[in-house]
Amino acid sequence: MNYLSCIEVLASFSIFHYLNILYFTNMQGGLVYSNKVVMVQSIYSKERIINSFSHGLEPTLAIHKDKLLISPCGFDNSIWDPSKDKFLPKNYSADDLKGKSICKVALQQQLGLSKNSSTVLVGCISTESLDFDLNNQKAVWNATQKNVQFIFMGSKATNTDGALEYLKKELKVEGTII
């Protein structure tokens, strides 16, 4: 290891002394010595991840931010294929959309929403705690006043139920928290 590499390593590690021993985390070492770092299943920007969700790795991520790639989570269309899904009330495809409105009305009914296949229905999936600021609340409220329906889906593990109940109460909208 040459002198410049040592400086880079020391600058990028959060170093602390405990009984005069220097500790580095394996995660930081991986970030420093990797060519690329891929984060999967994130809806946030690279800057927000570095500044808000890096659990003490901010200095290391800031130095190596060009290595950080965000890979959005997605659906495997070999598994999630509405033309073959046996759990849907009616199958449909890009070539034959007849079953889609039947599925939409069934979903609205299951969630306690007004049933209308021509109503705009927006789905929001979040695996993390809902980060809903005032501007977003106003946008959702304005849309609901124009008969747009929203489905917010979160994870029990991240306590999104409380945020969803608060949002429902604040916006005074119909729906069910499951």
| pLDDT tens over the chain, length 178 residues | 344 444 444 444 444 444 434 445 677 777 888 888 877 755 677 777 777 766 777 888 888 888 888 776 666 667 778 999 999 999 999 899 999 999 999 999 998 888 999 898 888 766 555 555 556 777 777 888 888 888 877 666 555 566 667 777 776 666 655 5
Q: Specify the pLDDT at position 107.
A: 92
Determine the Cα angle at 73 with ends 71 and 79, to 5°.
135
Place of tokens 């999967």: 40
Q: Specify the pLDDT at position 88.
A: 94
Q: Specify the pLDDT at position 12.
A: 46
Q: Specify the pLDDT at position 130.
A: 55
Which residues partner with 57 through β-bridges? none
Residues 43, 40, 54, 21, Cα dihedral to 10°? 180
Q: Specify the pLDDT at position 144.
A: 81
Q: Specify the pLDDT at position 27.
A: 74
Q: Specify the pLDDT at position 81.
A: 87
Whole-angstrom distance between the N-terminal and C-terminal Cα of the chain? Answer: 55
Which residues partner with 18 through β-bridges? 21
Q: Specify the pLDDT at position 91.
A: 95
CA quadruple 143, 44, 38, 53: dihedral positive or negative?
Answer: negative
Q: Specify the pLDDT at position 7.
A: 45
